[in-house]
Amino acid sequence: MEKLELKDIDVGGKRVLVRVDFNVPMKDGKITDETRITAALPTLLALINADAKIILVTHLGRPEVDSATDRKVLSTEPIAIAISRKLGTRVAHVDDCIGESVQRAVASMRNGEILLLENVRFYAEETANDAAFAAQLASLADVYVNDAFGTAHRAHASTEGVTHHLSPCATGLLMAREIYYLSTTLEDPARPYVAILGGAKISDKIPLIENLLGKVDKLLIGGGMAYTFLSAMGFGIGNSIVETEKFDVARSLVEREGFSDSILLPVDHVVGKTFDPETESRVVSKRSIPDGWQGLDIGPQTGSTFGEQIQAAKTVVWNGPLGVYEFEKFAQGTISVAKQIAGSESVSIIGGGDCVAAIQQAGVADRMTHISTGGGASLEFLEGKPLPGLVALTDRVR
């Protein structure tokens, strides 16, 4: 899928509506992690240098539409201040995203200036992809740029609806980078190609596993989802998390020809008595976990085996932590794998979500080839699903 990119269009002197993903964590009115803002800066700088009038639209959190408290706590005004500081230029803020006050603010803009709209999810029409609401948003601009990969799997007014009223509709630099790395991984990966999947539930990853089988050379599975596989194979898992209703799916995957050659499951575990950071813990040096214990991390032998596959790989895709990385006792497997990837010569693509926090915790984020800004979006892309916010953009004509 080839889409028009920002570099392909003339935005000089034009009003450009830019969908960004500034859904940043907040505490006491302050931003606690500016990663998503930093990731969008190249697109903003390119638009400034092109003398565009830049109108930013984003959501923040999941506000109750009629909540006065949410309107205060989830206002985008602190984000405007953060962007101003990072760019060294004033970023204006308006207290709505549609209506006369917004129209006036846009009309007064000069080339190269930035205006951040208020939280688009203060209107229920945003997530409903209401056509009239989308038309009002689109009326602010001449051109649309989507740089919010993290919301591309949602057909909302600001991600899909506006594209029916504006042309051209292009990807921003961040969106284009996401598409490049994820598409390359799917279509023409350097081999050996290794995928690492973790997280608590197999149900969240079934479509991804099915799409990856036959494409990857090795699939390494850890985290809570591994225990459903192991239990379905007849191994004892003690009190570990398990989805018994997914046994049939797990068995069907296990029974596929070539399963044992392509999929690696944990061969040992770090276990705890309870799900608690201070619980008693120990290493179980076999696949079966005794009753009264629950698997909370991959064991050292599994980490070593996974590491061998990572070191041999030319492409590594990772989605989901391999243990309860939030608890120090059970973070070592995830951190070990993060460091193995960082020390390899592979093209490394980190699939957003908890993996981003894990590699930051390991201190190796700057040594990864690409860190996706979209957890759910990157997962659906790798599953082979079309992303509405991407499909809606203008196709590049060769």
Cis peptide before 168 (omega within 30 of 0): yes
Contact predicate 346/312, CB 8 Å: no
Q: b or e along 86-106 (b: 16 or more beta carbons within 10 Å of the residue's beta carbon)?
A: eeeeebebbbebbeeebeebb
**What are the angstrom distances between the C-alpha of 125 and each of 5, 117, 202?**
28, 16, 33
360 burial type by CB count under 10 A (0-12 exposed, 13-18 middle, 19+ buried): middle
Spatial distance between the Cα atoms of 190 and 176, rounded to a whole number of angstroms: 20
Annotation says 36 is catalytic: yes
Q: Which of 273, 376, 385, 396 is catalytic?
A: 376
H/E stretch holding 81: helix 77-87
Helix count and strand count (H, E) for the chain: 16, 17
Residue 353 falls in the annotated catalytic set: yes
Q: Out of 199, 307, 353, 389, which one is annotated catalytic? A: 353
**Residue the block writes with tokens 């600001």:** 158
DSSP state of 67: -
**Residue at token pair 């996706």:** 372
- For this structure, is 258 an active site residue? no
Q: How many CB atoms lie within 10 A of CB 385?
A: 14
Catalytic residue flag (residue 222) = no
The conformation of residue 224, written as its DSSP 8-state character, comes to T
Q: From the candidates 14, 71, 86, 201, which is the catalytic residue?
A: 201
Terminal C-alpha separation, the chain: 12
Instruction: Decide: 18 and 172 in contact? Cβ < 8 Å.
Output: yes
Phi and psi at 172, nearest 5°, equal -80, 180
In single-letter form, the type of residue at position 177 comes to: R
Decide if 194 contacts 390 (C-beta within 8 A). Answer: no
* Phi, psi dihedral angles at 272 (to 5 degrees): -135, 160
Q: Rounded CA gap, 249 and 229, in Å?
A: 9
**How far apart (Å, rounded) are the C-alpha atoms in residues 268 and 75?**
47
User: What are the helix (H) ranges across 96-130?
Assistant: 100-107, 124-127
What proportions of the chain, in percent to the nearest 5, are helix, strand and coil? 40, 15, 40
User: Which is the catalytic residue, given 36, 53, 177, 218?
Assistant: 36
Q: Which residues carry out catalysis? A: 36, 201, 353, 376
